[in-house]
Each structure stands twice: as structure tokens, then as C-alpha cells.
Amino acid sequence: MTPPVATCPVTVRIQEDDFDIAREIALLTKSRTDIGAVVSFSGICRADEDSANIAALTLEHYPGMAEEEIKRHVDEAISRWPLNGVTAIHRVGRFMPGENIVLVLTASQHRQAAFQAAEFLMDYLKTSAPFWKKEESATGTGWVEAQARDDEAAARWTKS
């Protein structure tokens, strides 16, 4: 009998509803005995941005391209690390401080691949997936500007 080939199920969703981290991890690891590590990253709406008080955050996306762009980077992560499962969920709509915005789960046999792939995916989610944040504060509303540090974080994955 040949040993079972490691499969890497991929879930990419964009939704208005909140996600349940425990449920998503359970779905990813259900009936699997080959997974030794799951890394979970969640991005949460902060109340404080550059000393301004955020009342709410609105997330806009490019339907169709957003899913495709995330999947392209998930495929790249799968080609770079031995992954046994990936879940990426990005919420859109209007959020209050403390609310979940994004979830990335990476599963692998060992922790290093899971940690690195989760970081890789988040760096590209921030700089390349077509989502835009608009902030509401006491002083008005405005589009969040892209940060050079996010581009630098993503660029390190292209260095050999």
C-alpha cells in the first residue's frame, strides 16, 4: 500500500459575517493525523491609529480579483512550504474597534513552515490583495494610506 499523499485543502472566503477561529481550525484539521502545527493569525480593528481615535473602519474590496489574488499567493505559499492546509478569510463592511477583520490559518507537519507561510500570506494580503480601508474618527473620514513598512515586509520574501 502506498502512503497517503499529503493534501492541502484551501479555503479562501470574503464575507461580511464574523468568523469563528476555533471552528475554522477544527474544519482544517478534521480527520487529519498528518498535521502537527496550525498557525492562526487574526487581524483586528484597532481603536488607535497614529494617535487618532478610530470610531469605525470600512473595508472595500474588488470582488472577483480579491479572491483570485489571495488564491495566487496561497498557491505560491504551497509551492514554497510543505503545507497541509490553508484558510484565508477577509471580512468586508463596516467594523468597530475590537472586531475581527482577517484570519489566516496555515497547517503543516512542523511549526516553521506554518509560521513562515502565515507571515508570507499576511504580508501579501496587506500589499497586494485589492482591499481598501476607510477610517472614521472624530476629525472626519479618510482613506488609510499604504505604509512603506508593509511593502518592505512583502519585499523580503522576494529576496533569495
Partner 1 sequence: MKVKYFAWVRERVGKAEETIEPPPTVRTVAELIAWLSSQSETYAYAFEKPKVIRAAIDHAHVKSDAAITGAREIAFFPPMTGG
List interacting residues with partner 1 (CB under 8 A): 43, 59-62, 64-66, 68-69, 90, 101-102, 122, 125-134, 143-146, 150
Phi first, then psi: give them for residue 59, nearest 5 degrees.
-105, 125
What's the sign of the alpha-carbon dihedral 41, 82, 10, 128? positive
34 or 136: CB nearest partner 1: 136
Residue 68 Cβ vs partner 1, minimum distance, rounded to whole Å = 5
Q: Three-class SS of residue 19?
A: coil
Residue 30 Cβ vs partner 1, minimum distance, rounded to whole Å = 27
Residue 98 Cβ vs partner 1, minimum distance, rounded to whole Å = 17
59 or 107: CB nearest partner 1: 59
34 or 49: CB nearest partner 1: 49
Residue 147 Cβ vs partner 1, minimum distance, rounded to whole Å = 8
Residue 60 Cβ vs partner 1, minimum distance, rounded to whole Å = 6
Nearest-angstrom CA–CA distance, 137 and 19: 25
8 Å CB contact between 109 and 132: no
8 Å CB contact between 24 and 103: yes
28 or 121: CB nearest partner 1: 121
Nearest-angstrom CA–CA distance, 105 and 91: 15
- Pair type for strands 10-15 and 83-91: parallel
26 or 155: CB nearest partner 1: 155
